[in-house]
Structure 1
Amino acid sequence: MPPKLNPLPPLSQLPLNEGDPPHSAWGLWEGQDSSLGSLNYLTDELVLKTLREEVRTGARIGLDLPLDFFNPPLLGRAGFEQKVIDKAPLVVNDDIITFNTQGSSQWDSLRHFAYQKDQKFYNGATQQDIHAAPRTSVNDLQGWTEKGLAGRGVLIDYAAYAAREKIAIDHFSPHGITVDVVKAIADESKIEFQPGDVLFLRTGYVDAYRQLSKDRRVEVAGVREWCGLAQSRETTEWLWERQFAAVACDSPGFEVRPPTDKAWHLHPILLAGWGTPIGELFALDALADACRARGKFSFFFTSAPLNYSGAVASPPNAVAII
C-alpha cells in the first residue's frame, strides 16, 4: 500500500515551510527518499496489490511513440538521427543514435522546470547546484531507475468524451480541459482514484498530429500552444488531494498552453513543488481502444527511464499491462 500521510495537509497549508515557494511541499517525504517525491507512493506492497487486481489477460500495450515521430521536431528541439555502422569484414552492424530526450514521449525529471521567480527546483535545488560540475546528479532520474516506475494507471479519455459530446478541439491552440470535465469522465468511466495512481490524460493530440500534412507539420513544429489540463486553484487542489504518483498526457505539456490561469501554472507546482513527474507525448490511442473494449480504464503500468547521471528527461520505455 502507499505510505500513509496522516493527515495530508490541505493545499491551503502549503508551502509546508515558511519562505518556500508557493504551494510547495518540501519536507513531505521526510524519513523516506525525499528525492523521489511522489514516486514514494509506489511501494512494493502497492505494486503487488496492483498486479493482483489489474492484470487479467497479460496483453501488453506500448506507450512510447517512435523517437522520430515528430518531424520536424517540436519546439525547436534537435531531431532524431541514426548512423548504422557496417563493421566489415565481419557481417555485423552497430548503430549510433542522437536525440533530444524531450523530442518524443518523455518523462520530465525534477531538474527540468523550476519556480521561475524563486529560481528553485525541487527541494530547493538551484541552477548552480545542477551545473556545479559536469553531469551532477541533483534531481536527476537515477533514483527512479533503481526500481523503475510501476503501479496502477488510470486513463481519462477526453478525446473520446469530446467526440461524443461534439466538442470541437483544435489541438494546436489553447484548449483547456477543466477539472470538472475530468471528474465527469472519471465518473462515467467508473474510475475510483487511489493514492499512488498514475494519471493519464488523452487529449487526441497525437492522433491529430498523425493526420497532418507535411506542410502543416512544419507549421505546428513552431507552435507553442496546445490542448491540455486547464489551470486553476480547483484543478491544483484536486491533483493534490488525489495523491498521484505521476501524471502524463499525449500533448506536449500535460497542461494547456498558454495557461488559463498563470497563478496556477502546474509545471513548477508539480515538478519543483511536489516532486511529481510529468509525462508528455505518450502514445495513448491503442490504450484507449483497449480500455473501451473491456469497459475498464485502469491497468498495470510500468516504465524504465534511461539510466545515466544528470538526466533532465527520458523516454519512458512504458508499457500498460491489462
Structure 2
Amino acid sequence: MAPVMQPIPSLSDLPLRKGSCGEGCKEEIQTGERVGLDLPLDLFDPPLLGRAGFEQKIVDKNPLVVNDDVISFNTQGSSQWDSLRHFAYQKDKKFYNGTTQEEIHSAPRTAINGLQTWNSKALAGRGVLIDYASYAKRQGISVDHFTPHGITLESVRAIAEEEGIEFRSGDVLFIRTGYAAAYQTLDSEGRTRVSGVREWCGLAQSRQTTEWLWERQFAAVASDSPGFEVRPPTEKEWHLHPILLAGWGTPIGELFDLDKLAELCARRKRWSFFFTSAPLNYTGAVASPPNAIAIM
C-alpha cells in the first residue's frame, strides 16, 4: 500500500519499507560474468565536497623484506553506501526509528543505525540498472553532469519500458547518470574545479517520484553520482535523502562504478543481475565502500 503523502514529508509521514533478496535472485546468475562496482578509493583527487582525501603509508618492516600499509580515507570519498545514521530529517532532527544525534554521539562509538548490521549476511539480491547516460545519448539529450540535471520519473519509466525491465519488491535500483565517466575525462584543472561544485545530475525529486519509489519497495538505491538524487533538488520538500534514510530505512549508494556493468547489460540484452555487497565491518559505520559485485 502506498503511503499517505503530506505536503512536506516529515519523520511520521511515510511508513517504513522493507526489502529482501527473494527467490527470484536464483534466476539471475546465467553466464557467471562478474563486474566490480567500486571506483578506486583514490580516484577523486582533490576529494569532492571538501572531504578528507585518501592517504597511504607503506611501512618497510626492515630487517625483514616485508611491507605493511596503513591507509586513511573518508568513507564517503569514493563509491559508498550511506548508512541510516548519515542524514536525518532536518526539521525533526531525527534519524531512522527516531534516533537522535545525541544518541549517536552519546559515547565514543555507538552501534545504532550503523552499517555493521549488514555484515552477518551482507547484502545480496537482484539488481536492476537504469542506464540513463546511454538513453540520453540516444535521445540527443545534452547532460552537463556537474550541474543540476534532473532525471525525470518519465525518463526512468521510458527506459524501463524500452529495455523490458521488470521491477520486483526487494530489488536494488541502480541509475547510471554518466557522472563517474564524465569525471574521469577531466584534466587536473577540471577535477580541481569540480571538487568545489556542490551540484550534480541525479534523480529528480517530486511527489510522484517518491510515491513510485515507495510502491516499488526497493531494498536499496544507488547511482554513479555523488548524491543519487539531483542537487540542488528540483523540489526541496521531496528531498529523498531524509525520506529514504531517515523515513524508510533504505540505504543510498553513491559514486558506484556502473560503466562496465552497463556495457555488459547492453551486450547481454539483460538489465537485471545478481548483486552482492559487503561493507566494512566495524561498529557504527556512517558510510562504507560497498565492496560490490554484479554477477550475470
Question: Superposition pairs for residues 84-123 of structure 1, below 5 Å?
Answer: 84-123=58-97
Alpha-carbon RMSD across the aligned residues, in angstroms, is: 1.5
Between the two proteins, the alignment pairs up a number of residues equal to: 295
Question: What is the CA-CA distance between 1:58 and the residue it aligns to?
Answer: 0.8
* In the alignment, structure 1 residue 12 sits paired with structure 2 residue 9: no
Q: Which amino acid aligns with 2:169?
A: P
Question: What is the CA-CA distance between 1:12 and the residue it aligns to?
Answer: 1.5
The C-alpha deviation readout for 1:76-102, integer Å capped at 9, x for no partner, is: 000000001111111111000000000
Counterpart residue number, 1:21: 11
Question: Superposition pairs for residues 278-293 of structure 1, below 5 Å?
Answer: 278-293=252-267
CA distance in 1, matches of 2:165, 2:242: 27
Question: What is the CA-CA distance between 1:20 and the residue it aligns to?
Answer: 6.5
Q: Which amino acid aligns with 1:24?
A: L
Question: What is the CA-CA distance between 1:22 and the residue it aligns to?
Answer: 4.9
Structure 2 unaligned segments of length 5 or more: list them.
Answer: none
Question: What is the CA-CA distance between 1:24 and the residue it aligns to?
Answer: 3.0
* In the alignment, structure 1 residue 276 sits paired with structure 2 residue 250: yes
The structure showing larger relative contact order (alpha-carbon pairs under 8 Å, at least 6 residues apart) is 2
After TM superposition, the runs of 4+ consecutive aligned structure 1 residues lying more than 3 A away are none
Counterpart residue number, 2:191: 217
* In the alignment, structure 1 residue 298 sits paired with structure 2 residue 272: yes
* In the alignment, structure 1 residue 244 sits paired with structure 2 residue 236: no
Contact 1:155 1:199 in 2 (8 A): yes
Question: What is the CA-CA distance between 1:139 and the residue it aligns to?
Answer: 0.4
Identity %: 69
Q: Which amino acid aligns with 1:228?
A: G
Of the three residues 205, 219, 233, the one matched with 1:259 is 233
CA distance in 2, matches of 1:54, 1:307: 27
SS in 2 for 1:142: helix
CA distance in 1, matches of 2:147, 2:5: 34
CA distance in 1, matches of 2:38, 2:90: 30
Question: Superposition pairs for residues 154-165 of structure 1, below 5 Å?
Answer: 154-165=128-139
Structure 1 unaligned segments of length 5 or more: list them.
Answer: 1-7, 29-36
Q: Which amino acid aligns with 1:159?
A: A
* TM-score (structure 2 length as normaliser): 0.97
CA distance in 1, matches of 2:120, 2:20: 13
